Chain A
Amino acid sequence: MPKTYYNPDDLRKFGEITEWSEELGNKFFDYYGKVFEEGALSAREKSLIALAVSHVVKCPYCIDAYTKDGLQRGITKEEMMEAVHAGAAIESGATLVHGVQMMNKYDKLSM
């Protein structure tokens, strides 16, 4: 077994998850493929959303995959970094908005 939890080579083997649960694996990959097709949003826009989410969920495989996907689509590094900031802003906002809960609780408990 490797000494690290993440191995970049494992990304190539992603499709193998189907081997242990064929129906669910196939349903997932069909759904995944459909999601990223051109639709009301362009495939390019979805690629940037995926890149931002990859960072928020801190998935190294996804970050590698969607950085390359962005390069292939001609997405610039400025656009990529802005997408990451959009994800980071929501993530930090999600933490900070809980500050209101803290304030409420503080006020309730205080005389």
Chain B
Amino acid sequence: MALLKSLSARKNDLSKPENQLAFLSNGIFREGGLPLFKDKIAESGNYPLKPKTLEILQLNLGYMCNQVCSHCHVDAGPDRKEIMTQETMQQCLEVIKTTKAHTLDLTGGAPEMNPNFRWFVEEASKAGIKDFIVRSNLTIILANKKYHDLPEFFKKYNVHVVSSLPFYKREKTDKQRGSGVFDKSIKALQMLNKVGYAQPGTNLKLDLAYNPAGAFLPTNQEAMEHDFKTALKEDFDIDFNQLFAITNLPISRFLEYLIASENYEDYMYELVNAYNPEAVKNVMCTNTISISWDGWLYDCDFNQMLDLKVASTVKHISDYNEELLNNRNILISQHCYGCTAGAGSSCQGSTA
């Protein structure tokens, strides 16, 4: 069920990263049942995990969101007030001008709710980054009149839109993301198509991100993409480019759900059993730097939510140094099994 408030607003114990990390390191991982992630990757000589060439800068513009999805690893929602300031954005812009990364990835919360979002997109687009992604929850486009022109705005700056849609049927989408979300998402996708997204003859890219609506792993990404494309075209005349199948990681609100529904142990066994050494080679933390709303640097968005700041002398955007960052060891815990299960999972979908 979609929730009304974040863990943070409910003062739930799991809103504290240290409690999540303690939970993930005890229980089935302490009683000899399952191997710790570091021991598992050591088997294939991948410990400590090191970065490769930096390709993606992912900026979290804030945890505020118009939705309160039950699987959200950010614990985002309307009650979250953490928002990137213009000053931090300015620091990010300096980095964007010099980075070797070819992809800039804006996420949230709903990044569009940051009052300086449009200014930032306009400024960042001047840096000539090859692939400029905004992760949009779709419903924000219809949430308020002031957002209705977002499709045109995205088009103007040739933004690559990556949208979340848990399923091509109403029931599962609304159960995970809230009542009415499916209809609004469909309408928003049609608006994006209308301005040229995922249409022949344009370079406007519209990808969908699929998370399973429950305690199970995603199946083959290509098969799922085929099903989504067929259903969305037949039922709603919607086009999109690619589908990214993303595994839900056992942190934050998804961890809360796993524990409350008594699925935690089975889910972790499944992740560990599906461990794929090939996926370790391409986990996104090896080619990404994640920057939080307040400028701290992380190996990925999940580590950001667990407050695992990069293990480097450089920890903040104000001291950003790509060379030094590239020498770091990547911080890991048991949640990382989510990125190495089966075909692997990342913000860009399967990795193996």
Complex Cα spacing A68 to B227, Å: 18
Choose among B168, B169, B216 the residue that contacts A72 (Cβ–Cβ < 8 A).
B216
Complex Cα spacing A74 to B168, Å: 9
Is B108 at the interface (CB under 8 A from chain A)? no
Is A85 at the interface (CB under 8 A from chain B)? no
Interfacial residues of chain A within 36-83, with CB under 8 A of chain B in the complex: 43-44, 68, 71-74, 76
B273 touches A72 (CB 8 A): no
Complex Cα spacing A58 to B173, Å: 31
Q: How would residues 208 to 237 of chain B score, 1 for a CB under 8 Å from any chain A CB and 0 otherwise?
A: 000010101111000110010000000000
A74 touches B224 (CB 8 A): yes
Number of A-B residue pairs having CB atoms within 8 Å of each other in the complex: 21
Q: How would residues 14 to 45 of chain A score, 1 for a CB under 8 Å from any chain B CB and 0 otherwise?
A: 00000000000000000000000000000110
**CB of A44 to closest CB in B, whole Å:** 8
Complex Cα spacing A72 to B227, Å: 12
**CB of B114 to closest CB in A, whole Å:** 33
Is A12 at the interface (CB under 8 A from chain B)? yes
Complex Cα spacing A68 to B263, Å: 12
**CB of A49 to closest CB in B, whole Å:** 17
Complex Cα spacing A71 to B263, Å: 15
Q: Which of B214, B216, B217, B227 has the most CB of A within 10 A?
A: B216
Main secondary structure of the interface of A (DSSP, over half): helix
**CB of A106 to closest CB in B, whole Å:** 50
Complex Cα spacing A73 to B224, Å: 7
Q: How would residues 75 to 104 of chain A score, 1 for a CB under 8 Å from any chain B CB and 0 otherwise?
A: 010000000000000000000000000000
Complex Cα spacing A74 to B225, Å: 11
Note all chain A residues with C-beta closer than 8 A to B223.
43-44, 73
A72 touches B269 (CB 8 A): no
Complex Cα spacing A107 to B216, Å: 56
Interfacial residues of chain B within 163-212, with CB under 8 A of chain A in the complex: 167-169, 212
**CB of A82 to closest CB in B, whole Å:** 16
Note all chain A residues with C-beta closer than 8 A to B219.
72-74
A71 touches B273 (CB 8 A): no
Note all chain B residues with C-beta closer than 8 A to A72.
212, 216-219
Complex Cα spacing A71 to B125, Å: 40
Given the interface pairs A73-B223, A74-B167, A76-B169, the reply to whether A12 lies near B216 with Cβ below 8 Å is: no
**CB of A45 to closest CB in B, whole Å:** 12
Complex Cα spacing A76 to B169, Å: 9
Note all chain A residues with C-beta closer than 8 A to B169.
76
Given the interface pairs A12-B273, A76-B169, the reply to whether A68 lies near B216 with Cβ below 8 Å is: yes
Q: Which of A44, A72, A76 has the most CB of B within 10 A?
A: A72
Note all chain A residues with C-beta closer than 8 A to B212.
71-72
Nearest A residue to B273 by beta-carbon distance?
Answer: A12
**CB of B61 to closest CB in A, whole Å:** 31
Nearest A residue to B231 by beta-carbon distance?
Answer: A74
Nearest A residue to B169 by beta-carbon distance?
Answer: A76
Complex Cα spacing A12 to B217, Å: 16
Listed by A's residue number, 19 A-B pairs whose Cβ atoms lie within 8 Å are A12-B269, A12-B273, A43-B223, A44-B223, A68-B216, A71-B212, A71-B214, A71-B216, A72-B212, A72-B216, A72-B217, A72-B218, A72-B219, A73-B219, A73-B223, A74-B168, A74-B219, A74-B224, A74-B227
B interface, CB within 8 angstroms of A:
167-169, 212, 214, 216-219, 223-224, 227, 269, 273
A interface, CB within 8 angstroms of B:
12, 43-44, 68, 71-74, 76
Other than A72-B218, A76-B169, give 12 A-B pairs with Cβ distance below 8 A.
A43-B223, A68-B216, A71-B212, A72-B212, A72-B216, A72-B217, A72-B219, A73-B219, A73-B223, A74-B167, A74-B168, A74-B224
